[in-house]
Chains A and B, each alone.
Chain A
Amino acid sequence: MYDTDLPIRSDLREAHATVVDRWSRPGTWWTAQERLAIVAEVRRARDAAEAPPAWVRASQVNGSVSGEHSLPAAAIDVIWRLTNHSGTLTAEWCDAAIDGFGEPSDAITPGQYTELVALVAQTNCIDRFAEGLSLDRPTLGGPVAGEPSRTVPEDAAMRGHWVPTVPSDYPAVVQALSAVPAENAAMLLLSDAQYIPVDEMFDLTSDRNSLSRMQVELVAARTSVLNECFY
């Protein structure tokens, strides 16, 4: 992973390699083929010369999305909107996406939606890391055979997020993917290596690798403001 002389830490390389490898394996709700299609569609959305505005469904724009797509149209719309206009989402939009925007055959489950959000977020993270250092994006492996696990934690329920979560003492954003534990683990793996382990988050004097904690938080805050993220 990453053919470069840049001093990329081994824990960071390993975290990225693990997550990229998982993209080509069956997930909790999507097959390996579907997960790879999601990652590829994120890249198409990122690379689009002109993305549709936030209120336009990408799947409805001629030439924007392949007609032979293996994903439901609603999933494609989630990918494009979350990649290019993440600060514009509403609870009603999320409900409509899960309902397939009025097309029952396009409906996705809350579990599929949560895993979709996770994959879009991971791909944006890893690809932007590569772009930031002028490295090639990680190449995708072939799909690994097998079925999604379709496992749901016993205590998953609606608790204030738009998707089911499992209760914990962690900050709300760290609970967001908890009803799909495999994706929650991937998020924590990346965040531990790239930001701060969640258990150290509120030790505000903790420097991290070559940066002071204040430098880490400044980069985090500037990036969040650019993404127009309220949280």
Chain B
Amino acid sequence: MLLSLSGQSQDAQVSFDAVTGTGNDDGGVAHGRLLARLAEAMWEGEPSQLAAVRDDVTAAMGGDALVDAVAVSANFHMMTRIADGTGTKYDRAGLERTAEVRAQVGVNDMASGQEALRLLTHR
């Protein structure tokens, strides 16, 4: 959701193809596809794939950007586990606010999404 709002605040046309891994373009974000590839390589953890993406990010964006992007991705391996492990969920207002983005990204179909929606209807 913050990607969408950040794009709006800068009058940028942001698509979620890079977020969902369904597109080959940058989704309206400079080096978006390359940064998504880095996140995917960190998720997979396959050393040669990671090495190749690291080289590409360094060549296109520099070493500082490589370190910062790896740090952001690592941070969200933490935050997702905190959210999922503690049952952190949106309230009704939050769900309404993010409905369009959630539909575009497909998170409602994920197991965590179905659990969140199930609990909300039982509260």
Partner of B42, one of A128, A172, A190: A128
Q: A193-B71, A214-B3 are in contact. Are A222 and B89 (CB under 8 A)?
A: no
The main secondary structure of chain A at its interface with chain B is helix
In which size bucket is the chain B interface?
35 or more
Please pick, from B70, B82, B111, B116, the residue contacting A121 in the complex, using a CB distance under 8 A.
B82
Is B47 a contact partner of A134 (Cβ separation < 8 A)? yes
Question: Which chain B residues lie closer than 8 Å to A173 at the CB level?
Answer: 79, 82-83, 88
* CA A215 to CA B5, docked complex, whole Å: 13
- Beta-carbon contacts of B78-113 to A below 8 Å, as 1s and 0s? 111111111111110000000000000111101111
User: A223 contacts which chain B residues (CB < 8 A)?
Assistant: 39, 42-43, 72-73, 76-77, 80
In residues 10-27 of chain B, which contact A (Cβ within 8 Å)?
Answer: 10, 12, 14, 16, 18-21, 27
How far does the Cβ of A26 sit from chain B's closest Cβ, in whole Å? 21
Within 8 Å by CB of B50, from A129, A132, A227, lies: A132
| B39 proximity list for chain A (CB < 8 A) | 219, 222-223, 226
CB closest chain-B residue, reference A47: B45
For this complex, into which size category does the number of interface residues on chain A fall? Answer: 35 or more
B84 touches A229 (CB 8 A): yes
A205's partner among B10, B20, B35 (CB-CB below 8 A) is B10
Residues of B within 8 A of A12 (CB): 67, 71
Within 8 A of A (CB), among B38-82: 38-43, 45, 47, 50-51, 54, 61-82
A73 at the interface (CB under 8 A from B): no
Given the complex of chains A and B, what is the CA–CA distance between A101 and B2 in angstroms? 37
A89 at interface (Cβ–Cβ under 8 A)? yes
Instruction: Give the distance in Å from the alpha carbon of A114 to the alpha carbon of B50 in the complex.
Output: 32
Please indicate the chain B residues that have their CB under 8 angstroms from the CB of A219 in the complex. 35-36, 38-39, 69, 72-73, 76
Given contacts A215-B69, A225-B20, contact A117 B86 (CB under 8 A): yes
- In the complex, are the beta carbons of B85 and A82 less than 8 A apart? yes
Say yes or no: is A61 at the interface (Cβ < 8 Å to chain B).
no
B43 to chain A, nearest CB (A): 4
CB of A87 closer than 8 Å to a CB of B: yes
Q: How far is the CB of A124 from chain B (nearest CB, A)?
A: 5
Question: Is the C-beta of A91 less than 8 angstroms from some C-beta in chain B?
Answer: yes
**Complex CA–CA separation, A217 to B79 (angstroms):** 13
Kindly report which residue of chain A lies nearest to residue B110, judged by CB atoms.
A228
Residues of A within 8 A of B87 (CB): 89, 91, 94, 160-163
Interfacial chain B residues near A62, Cβ < 8 Å: none
Within the complex, the shortest CB–CB distance from B122 to chain A, in Å, comes to 9
Q: List 26 A-B contacts (CB under 8 A).
A: A86-B81, A87-B112, A88-B112, A89-B115, A90-B115, A117-B81, A124-B77, A132-B70, A161-B88, A173-B79, A204-B2, A204-B8, A210-B65, A211-B72, A213-B10, A214-B3, A215-B31, A215-B35, A218-B18, A219-B76, A220-B73, A221-B3, A222-B39, A223-B76, A228-B107, A230-B89
- Apart from A214-B7, A229-B107, 13 more pairs, CB < 8 Å: A89-B87, A94-B87, A121-B79, A129-B71, A131-B42, A160-B89, A161-B88, A173-B83, A177-B82, A209-B64, A211-B72, A225-B19, A227-B43
